[in-house]
Amino acid sequence: MNLPYHIQVTTEALGDLFSPTALKIIIQANRGQDSLWNLVFGPKEFHFDDCKFESAYAWLETEKNEIFTALSENNAEAALKALGRMTHAWQDFYSHSNYLSLWAASVGGETLPPPQTTPPLHPDFIAHPDLVSGMVYLLEGLALIPSLAPLARRLLPPDAHANMNLDEPSRGPLFPHSLVAARKRTRHEVVQLLEAMDASQRNAFTMLPTQ
């Protein structure tokens, strides 16, 4: 998912749960996952790429533990940064995997259901045996250059990230569904996190004042 859509989805999902200052920190950390360094050298788990589902969920659990550790140390900013990194991965799951394609195929018919009906955690597809995510090959960098992207896609195999992704509207009719699923998943995961906190932790986490 391209950065403007990460920002849009995160704001829509969390804007009413966090103070403006807290939300800004979350979004900055989310954006940081798509730094050039991370895109080239960062773990593929950051984006659910290369079919690294199991290790991506393990990494997310580590980040979740970091949130509670940081809050126990009265470091709400570190906790918010960990959450921002997590939101990026949750959101990329839908634009980098074939989860939505599997779901859409099960619905049948020639017309896709409305995006708002998209289920973010359908039990038949969240761990489907045919679930895959885009592989990151050496030529992927060419796909980041608009003028070279069509050539890169022709040169890369079908399972390449460049050919599978739903990162922006031109990538196909399931793009709106990817935004809805990402927003719903982000909201769901964060609400669960907040429910696991005591009142003082939750207040420190969500209501960071303007500095």
pLDDT digits (tens, 9 = 90+) for 16-72: 999 999 999 999 999 999 987 777 678 899 999 999 999 999 999 999 999 999 999
H or E stretch including 25?
A: helix 20-32
* pTM as predicted: 0.93
CB 130 within 8 A of CB 103: no
Rounded to whole angstroms, how far apart are CA atoms 200 and 182?
28
Categorize the per-residue pLDDT at 145 as very low, low, confident or very high, splitting at 50, 70 and 90: confident
User: Residue 202 phi/psi, 5° resolution?
Assistant: -60, -40
* Distances from the Cα of 46 to the Cα of 24, 31, 187, angstroms: 20, 12, 19
Provide the pLDDT for residue 2: 95
Angle at 116 between CA 110 and CA 120, to 5 degrees: 95
Among 139-153, 159-173, 193-207, where is mean pLDDT lowest?
139-153
Question: Binning pLDDT at 50, 70 and 90, where does residue 210 land?
Answer: low
By percentage, how much of the chain surpasses pLDDT 90? 83
